[in-house]
Structure 1
């Protein structure tokens, strides 16, 4: 078991825990005493925000965490996306990060994979516009 994690939430804030959405009505502190996969509301990406290849990858991994009934479809999309990204991206830091992210997802550690993807954003130039969303991304988003 990892160390416990303590999180403070503001009134009205949401947290996503193991696929469940929880909203608090007052200032609250939560302490997770065991391994848990969670996302704070400010780390949740909306489909229209997935405007670059790494942000699209983040959204796919996020679906794996937040939507258990779409997990297998999202995982298949992730497994198709990684080789394409490894082949097309030339930035060494991103390439190394993608290999690590692939290993994390294979181990089932999607929370850590999301954290790692966020660290790579600074190396990526915006190359995809909002109107270029892929049909596969839209399908996973349920649109």
Structure 2
């Protein structure tokens, strides 16, 4: 089954490491075979990876974007995911297990997608604990 993408005007995507920018109008793309595809809006800047879950997301993103680092990063990523599972309640921990399953099949985009609800939950926890949003590593 093809991956169907709708690109906003001037939106960038990365396909197998190649950055592609859309023109000034919305376009539709069908990716008909397996490829590493990620939208710019799904990317996390390294300076924003200052929390445990965001760090794991950044590692998954790095595996997606840099095939040369995958072999080295996958065991680190799996270990970090394993350490996070007991920290969160069952509903969110299931997303971490799902992300680990996707990492084991080299489907890093789906791993990132599974981590998004955990990032949102983590942000809410930081807000409750500190009365504000979490600080990034750069702050």
TM interval, short-chain normalised: 0.7 to 0.9
Aligned residue pairs, count = 130
Instruction: In structure 1, list runs of 5 or more residues that go unmatched.
Output: 134-143
SS in 2 for 1:131: coil
Structure 2 vs 1, CA of residues 131 and 40 (structure 1 numbering), >3 Å: closer, same or farther? closer
2:36–2:65 contact (8 Å) kept in structure 1: no
Equivalent residue number for residue 52 of structure 1: 51
Shift, 1:31, TM fit? 1.4
Work out the CA distance in 1 between the residues paired with 2:94 and 2:23: 42
Q: Higher relative CO (CA 8 A, sep ≥ 6), structure 1 or 2?
A: 1
- TM-score, with length taken from structure 2: 0.78
CA distance in 2: counterparts of 1:113 and 1:8, whole angstroms = 21
Are residues 1:39 and 2:38 paired? yes
Report SS of the residue matched to 1:57: helix
Matches of 1:83 and 1:119, distance apart in 2: 17
* Per-residue deviation, residues 21-55 of structure 1 (Å, max 9, x unmatched): 22234433321122333111111110111132111
Is 1:76 the equivalent of 2:106?
no
TM-score, reference length from structure 1: 0.76
